[in-house]
Amino acid sequence: MSDKMKFSIAVLLICVCAAECAALTGKWRGELNMGYAKLPLVFNFSENNNGETAATMDSPQQNAKGIPLEVTFCDTDSISLTCNLIGASFNGKIHGTTINGTFKQRGFSFPLSLAPEQDLSERRPQTPQPPFHIPNVTRCSYLPTEPNWRAH
């Protein structure tokens, strides 16, 4: 195989890998189970000006947003992130609509599965959506006559 052919194949492979990883965009949510507590984490993936994957992390329960992450490795089936600010890293395997991996921080390791974040209305089903069902309610107009009466 000629050097020109080898170079062309190498460039093609790099483009395919970069394009596949660049497809990793949007918000990906997971819950870090630390045994005694669960901590939701949101990874925000985007494409920077160079066409490379960029990332930040949010910890909504701790009111921390935009924690910068360094994408140390990104391939068609895996991603590695580090955050020197909090001494953490994440290594995960991409399986379609999930990323399964390990979150490490200060010597502790926790499994972490990420999935594309659902819209807030999907995550909070208790938020009423029309049409509203309002049952017939009989109203009571009883007014207590005793001065120490309290509703219980």
Please report the DSSP string for 15-58 in residue order.
HHHHHHHHT--EEEEEEEE-SS-EEEEEEEEEE-TTS-EEEEEE
Could you tell me the pLDDT band of residue 139, with boundaries at 50, 70 and 90? low
What span, in angstroms and rounded, lies between the C-alpha atoms of 45 and 71? Answer: 10
pLDDT tens across 42-79, in order? 999 998 888 888 999 999 999 999 999 999 998 888 99
The total domain count for the chain is: 1
pLDDT tens across 83-133, in order? 999 999 999 999 988 999 999 999 999 999 999 987 665 556 566 667 766
Collapse the DSSP code of 67 into the 3-class scheme (helix H, G, I; strand E, B; otherwise coil) and give the result. Answer: strand
Domain annotation covers residue 151: no
- pTM as predicted: 0.65
Domain containing residue 99: CATH number: 2.40.128
Task: Tell me the residue range of the domain where 30 lies.
Answer: 3-120
